[in-house]
Amino acid sequence: MQPPMAEIVENAIVDYETFFKYLIEASEGYLTRNPNDKYQVEACLEIIKHKFMIF
C-alpha cells in the first residue's frame, strides 16, 4: 500500500507588471461570477497599481 500523494506547491518570483497581469486575469474571472463587485475590484486594482508604481 502506498501513502497518499501530497499536492505539490509551486511558487514563482515575478516582477510587479507580471504579477499585475495575472491579478487582472484572476479579477476578470472573479467578476464573471460576482459582477456586482466590479467597482470594488476596480478600486482595489487601482490602489495596487499605484502602490507598486505600475503604469
Q: Where are the beta strands (DSSP E) in the chain?
A: none
At 7 the three-state DSSP class reads coil
- Supply the pLDDT for residue 3: 67
Of 31 and 12, which is predicted with more confidence?
31
Of 7 and 35, which is predicted with more confidence?
35
Percent of the chain exceeding pLDDT 90 equals: 78
State the Cα–Cα distance between residues 28 and 36, nearest whole angstrom. Answer: 12
The label of the residue with cell 506547491 reads 9
Asked if 12 and 50 touch (Cβ cutoff 8 Å), the reply is: no
- Supply the pLDDT for residue 8: 86
Span 1-27, pLDDT tens digits: 666 777 888 899 999 999 999 999 999
Mean pLDDT, all residues of the chain: 92
- pTM as predicted: 0.76
Nearest CA among 6, 7, 46 for reference residue 23: 46
